[in-house]
């Protein structure tokens, strides 16, 4: 547990937290959408363009070699961060969305008419639409894992859904709406027993869980830098080496080519086979600094602190009698991340969000790119709070007091 002094030291590393919103102190609790950036990450961007800027893997000159080294060092850091077996299993993408699209596209030569793909009711649109399109194009069947009233996956029904025809199960590690941690290891075990591959959308898990892809035995795992104190526009896709070697490339062009003639083209070895064109070099370099920031504090310490925040917030907000939580009837906080979604009785989520904004509180409102889940709960949207290392218990008290004001204003 961090002391108040330690949290203030951490908060001082985030310049944006000193900003005012309508003359109020900023309370930023939309971390599931994107996290704020510490000064060392901000400075890393300036350093890259003023000291290092050069293309990678292309030149024998000093700056190119230096830039290449920085990029490959970040790849090695990510290998360690998720405990992958090989650095070549780490592919750089624009983010989680592109990673899922990459696999859905690369599997198009594998999926045949009548094959099955399984996702769940909990998924972000980015983990729904690519599979819908693939199934439509290949006359495959998209199956959906139902959820129970509390938002947890109905695992019994999942076991009834999966079959020998199932080619891939694509599932979120943590729901971006409910904050529920799904039992990935169990899902992988069942899926593999049917010969199915598993892709895990780890967008919400990368800053909440200690990841070990070898222990989970997932075939693919993906997340984005910007949800873990890094820059936007850069993400990572892990894939087992033997599977990636057998997949068709997603894009074509420079970097991913071994030999080209007008008659035939051969592709580079992993990871470059899936990294066509000039990558977001600056983003990769800066992401390395974000990983350093997490390592310096300690991911486990961050997790423990965020668990304490979520416990306190749930307890505090429960005193508001009109509040309705979604997916929060939980006592085992190993199954819950730092996300709370709720509504106030007879109050529209957008109205709540607008008033909170005027009070300096940044929350997410609406469907949160999960319309099927909203339909399941029979709502048009929700209010979401999502916490990070720089949030405080005092901020939760302020959110509580502000919601009481919202209740009074919207009476």
3-state DSSP call for residue 87?
Answer: helix
Alpha helices (H) in 240-370, listed in sequence order: 241-244, 281-297, 299-317, 349-358
Encoded tokens for 401: 């007091």
Query: What structural domains does the chain harbor?
Result: 4-30+298-409 (3.90.1150.10), 42-294 (3.40.640.10)
pLDDT tens profile 21-32: 999 999 999 999
In 22-100, DSSP assigns E strands to 24-25, 27-28, 90-93
Which whole number is the average pLDDT over 6-35? 98
Which whole number is the average pLDDT over 393-410? 97
User: Among 89-98, 188-197, 211-220, 260-269, which stretch is predicted with the lowest mean pLDDT?
Assistant: 260-269
Q: Which residues are bridge partners to 118 per DSSP?
A: 143, 169
Looking from the CA of 120 toward its CB, the CA atoms found within 13 Å total: 30
CA distances to 40, 198, 231 from 289, in Å: 7, 30, 10
Which helix (H) or strand (E) segment holds residue 395: the answer is: helix 393-409
Which whole number is the average pLDDT over 162-186? 97
Question: Residue 381 pLDDT more than 80?
Answer: yes
Question: Residue 336 pLDDT more than 90?
Answer: no
Banded pLDDT at 328 (limits 50, 70, 90)? confident
pLDDT tens profile 103-158: 999 999 999 999 999 999 999 999 999 999 999 999 999 999 999 999 999 999 99
Contact (CB, 8 A) for 343 and 382: yes
Is 354 an annotated catalytic residue? no
Question: Residue 232 pLDDT more than 70?
Answer: yes
Predicted local confidence at residue 330, as pLDDT: 60
C-alpha to C-alpha distance for 277 and 266, rounded to whole angstroms: 16
Looking from the CA of 405 toward its CB, the CA atoms found within 13 Å total: 14
**Cβ of 140: how many Cβ atoms within 10 Å?**
20
Q: Is the dihedral of CA 323, 327, 332, 336 positive or negative?
A: negative
CA distances to 94, 287, 363 from 226, in Å: 11, 8, 17
Does the pTM surpass 0.95? The reply is yes
Encoded tokens for 24: 């109020």
For residue 212, which of 202, 226, 204 has the smallest C-alpha distance? 202
Which whole number is the average pLDDT over 44-66? 94
At CA 7, angle to CA 6 and CA 10, rounded to 5? 90
């Amino acid at each position: 547990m961090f002391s108040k002094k330690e949290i203030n030291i951490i908060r001082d590393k985030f310049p944006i937290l000193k900003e005012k919103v309508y003359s109020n102190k900023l309370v930023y609790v939309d971390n599931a959408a994107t996290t704020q950036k510490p000064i060392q990450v901000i400075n890393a961007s300036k350093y890259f363009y003023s000291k290092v800027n050069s293309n990678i893997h292309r030149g024998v000159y000093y700056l190119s070699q230096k830039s290449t080294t920085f990029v490959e060092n970040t790849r090695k850091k990510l290998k360690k961060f998720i405990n992958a077996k090989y650095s070549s299993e780490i592919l750089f993408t624009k983010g989680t969305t592109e990673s899922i699209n990459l696999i859905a596209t690369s599997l198009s030569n594998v999926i045949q008419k009548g094959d099955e793909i399984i996702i769940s009711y909990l998924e972000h649109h980015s983990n729904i639409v690519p599979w819908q399109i693939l199934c439509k194009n290949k006359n495959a069947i998209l199956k959906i894992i139902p959820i129970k009233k509390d938002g947890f996956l109905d695992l019994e029904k999942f076991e009834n859904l999966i079959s020998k025809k199932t080619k891939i199960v694509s599932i979120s590690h943590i729901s971006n709406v409910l904050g529920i941690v799904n039992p990935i290891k169990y899902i992988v075990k069942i899926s593999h027993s049917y010969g199915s591959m598993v892709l895990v959308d780890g967008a919400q898990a990368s800053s909440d869980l200690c990841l070990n892809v070898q222990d989970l035995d997932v075939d693919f795992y993906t997340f984005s830098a910007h949800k873990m104190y890094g820059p936007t526009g850069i993400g990572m896709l892990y894939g087992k080496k033997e599977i990636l070697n057998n997949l068709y490339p997603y894009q074509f062009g420079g970097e991913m080519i071994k030999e080209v003639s007008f008659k035939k083209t051969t592709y580079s070895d992993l990871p470059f086979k899936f990294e066509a064109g000039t990558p977001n070099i600056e983003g990769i370099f800066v992401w390395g600094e974000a990983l350093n920031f997490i390592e310096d504090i300690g991911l486990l310490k961050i997790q423990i602190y965020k668990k304490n925040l979520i416990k306190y917030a749930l307890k505090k907000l429960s005193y508001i009698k009109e509040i309705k939580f979604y997916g929060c009837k939980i006592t085992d906080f190993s199954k819950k991340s730092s996300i709370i979604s709720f509504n106030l009785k007879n109050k529209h989520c957008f109205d709540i969000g607008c008033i909170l904004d005027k009070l300096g509180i940044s929350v997410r409102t609406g469907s949160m790119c999960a319309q099927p889940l909203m339909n399941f709960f029979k709502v048009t949207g929700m209010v979401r709070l999502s916490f990070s290392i720089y949030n405080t218990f005092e901020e939760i008290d302020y959110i509580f007091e502000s919601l009481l004001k919202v209740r009074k204003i919207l009476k």
